[in-house]
């Protein structure tokens, strides 16, 4: 027998005393700026929001037959039964396609066989035995020609061919291809989506299950922000150099041991700076103000 669904019973309960709506506004505002900047119409975003609300409500009522789930979802989301019925129909969307260069680039950065003095090899012979770009490509897949991988890396601005000695030079150590906007959007969705999922699960589960912390400071100058940025970049490089080979080794060990490889992990780091909403008053003389800690 279905359990009754709880509903807010008073205006006070519907007034969001926890401030969740303010949190949602803070999360949605940057996405709205991105949509407006790229000409995405509200009606398209509205359709997406309705779909993800329905998906979330369906997930909260797993195992409930569809004919009864429609009512549950409608009550949980406030979306009409007619719209819910339309949105729960099986979709024919194709799974998102990943860049064919993704795994190869990650292996170049992390596989110990293609690293020198703790860093990824900056240059590989284009063809020939290990270590070469050809052997790197073949270590990922023999179904894709090394030339195809190479053309994709070059197109994304991650590598270039040096015709003088027929070698391939690594141009960057971050897979954020500036020349491919669709790939950048894909990474934005995956990185921010996982970060937000970690934060949401931490506030909906007890105890928190994911690392999700931040260090923040106010009352800095632009000069100080510029001084901090290279330090943050260096911390990220050191983290990658430590964890990338470790993770690749674990993947290879799991594969060799025949363990089910059905788990994924994303480790991220970000830094953001912007003007303060309410700048502190100018210092016109001695005062009782002290820097916060």
Q: Where are the domains of the chain?
A: 17-87, 102-170, 214-276
Q: What value does the mean pLDDT take over residues 85-93?
A: 75
pLDDT digits (tens, 9 = 90+) for 124-164: 999 988 889 999 999 888 888 999 989 988 887 889 999 98
Write down the pTM of the prediction: 0.63
3-state secondary structure 75-99: HHHCCCHHHHHHHCCCCCCCCCCCC
8 Å CB contact between 170 and 110 = no
8 Å CB contact between 169 and 159 = yes
8 Å CB contact between 184 and 176 = yes
Q: Which residue would you say has higher pLDDT here, 57 or 99?
A: 57
Instruction: Look up tokens 């510029």; give the residue.
Output: 226
pLDDT digits (tens, 9 = 90+) for 17-71: 678 899 999 999 999 998 887 778 888 899 999 999 999 999 988 888 877 889 9
- The whole-angstrom separation of Cα 250 and Cα 259 is 11
Residue 177 contacts by C-beta under 8 Å, 6 or more apart in sequence?
A: 156, 157, 158, 183, 184
Whether residue 4 has pLDDT greater than 80? no
């Amino acid at each position: 027998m279905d359990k009754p669904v709880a509903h807010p019973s008073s205006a006070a309960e519907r007034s969001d005393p926890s401030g969740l709506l303010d949190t949602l506004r803070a999360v949605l505002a940057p996405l709205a700026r991105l949509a407006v900047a790229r000409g995405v119409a509200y009606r398209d975003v509205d359709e997406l929001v309705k779909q993800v609300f329905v998906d979330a409500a369906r997930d909260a009522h797993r195992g409930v037959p569809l004919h009864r789930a429609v009512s549950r979802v409608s009550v949980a989301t406030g979306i009409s039964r007619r719209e819910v019925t339309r949105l729960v129909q099986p979709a024919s969307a194709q799974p998102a396609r990943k860049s064919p260069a993704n795994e190869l680039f990650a292996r170049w950065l992390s596989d110990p066989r293609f690293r020198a003095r703790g860093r990824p090899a900056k240059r590989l012979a284009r063809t020939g035995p290990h270590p070469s770009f050809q052997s790197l490509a073949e270590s990922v897949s023999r179904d894709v020609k090394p030339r195809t991988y190479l053309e994709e890396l070059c197109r994304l601005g991650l590598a270039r061919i040096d015709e003088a000695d027929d070698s391939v030079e690594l141009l960057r150590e971050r897979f954020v291809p500036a020349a491919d906007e669709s790939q950048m959007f894909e990474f934005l969705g995956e990185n921010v989506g996982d970060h937000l999922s970690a934060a949401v699960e931490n506030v909906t589960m007890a105890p928190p299950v994911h690392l999700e912390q931040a260090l923040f400071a106010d009352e800095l100058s632009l000069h100080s922000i510029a001084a901090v940025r290279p330090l943050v970049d260096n911390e990220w490089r050191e983290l990658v150099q430590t964890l990338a080979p470790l993770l690749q080794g674990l993947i290879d060990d799991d594969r060799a041991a025949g363990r089910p490889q059905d788990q994924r992990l994303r480790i991220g780091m970000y830094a953001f700076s912007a003007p303060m909403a309410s700048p502190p008053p100018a210092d016109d003389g001695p005062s009782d103000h002290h820097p916060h800690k």
